[in-house]
Amino acid sequence: MAGQFINIRMTHFYDPLLPRPMSIFRRNGDEGWLEVLVRVVGRGSKALSQSEPGDRFTVLGPLGNGFSLPKKLPAVLIGGGTGIAPLVFLASELSKMDVPSMAVFGFRSQSEVCCVEEMRAFCQEVFVATDDGSYGFRGLIPDFFARIAEEKGIDEATLYVCGPVPMMSRIADFSRGKGYDVFLSVEAHMACGFGACVGCAVPRADGKGFVLACVDGPVFNAKEIRLGD
């Protein structure tokens, strides 16, 4: 389901040894395939980006939980960078159920902008921001969303957020005390994917211990966790 992830490693590639958690970007259950969205940032992602048809992978999944259906409308999908990956999948699922939605995506520059046309096929409105202003709104996603919410009078909505921790933290702070249900898809180092290594611990909002992104998440209600620590 939208929001879940897989752990993937090329079977002939052991440096780095640990697999990489990847959000499910698209899937076709009838044909038995799925897609992930890869941005090259290191050795593992570079190897994946250079793979060719016929290459073999070790894949574990689907793992974790997924996004809940919205109780408050519209559904607002807020993504930064490759954090857009699970939101594209979510948008396609909401579209099939005729759930009204809008997307607010942010990237560092125009060269990184992607999936905008796909989202326009699923959402009633799509807004894009870049840090340098080379495409769309100039500025950061939290400021952009606050402006959109004010201009459109969005007093009640379900927010689905995925991206860098500072972005998600600011969205959660902005939404506190307002009529929003907020779900955060946490990006963390999930070495095993099933709770054994405890490498993806996230502090609980009540200060009473931790939850694990791989088995308790990666999707959490913003009221359940504390980001930024």
Report pLDDT for 86. 94
Side chain identity at residue 168, one-letter code: M
Q: Are 6 and 59 in contact (CB under 8 A)?
A: yes
* pLDDT on residue 138: 94
Distance CA 20, CA 8 (A): 5
The pLDDT of residue 188: 76
Q: 18 exposed, middle or buried (CB, 10 Å; 0-12, 13-18, 19+)?
A: middle
* Helix, strand or coil, per DSSP, at residue 154: coil
Lay out the sheet containing 20-23: strands in order across.
Answer: 20-23, 5-10, 57-63
Going along the chain from its start, the domains and CATH numbers come out as 5-63 (no CATH), 75-221 (3.40.50.80)
Q: Which two tokens stand for residue 41?
A: 């940032």
> Alpha-carbon distance 186 to 3, whole Å?
10
pTM: 0.91
pLDDT for 11: 64
88-126: string of b/e by CB count within 10 Å (b at 16+)? bbbbbbbbeeebebbbbbbbeeeeebbbbebbeebbeeb
119 three-class SS = helix
Which pLDDT value is given to residue 174?
Answer: 94
**Nearest residue to 109 (alpha-carbon basis) of 133, 85, 144, 126:** 133
- Supply the pLDDT for residue 109: 94
pLDDT tens readout for residues 15-29:
666 777 888 888 876
Least Cα distance to 15 among 39, 35, 44 occurs for 44
Q: In this predicted structure, what is the pLDDT of residue 69?
A: 94
pLDDT in tens, the chain (229 residues): 889 998 887 766 566 667 778 888 888 766 777 888 877 777 777 777 778 888 888 888 889 999 999 999 999 999 998 889 999 999 999 999 999 999 999 999 999 999 999 999 999 999 999 999 999 999 999 999 999 999 999 999 999 999 999 999 999 999 999 999 999 999 877 777 788 888 889 999 999 999 999 899 999 999 999 986 5
Can you give the C-alpha Rg of the chain in angstroms? 17
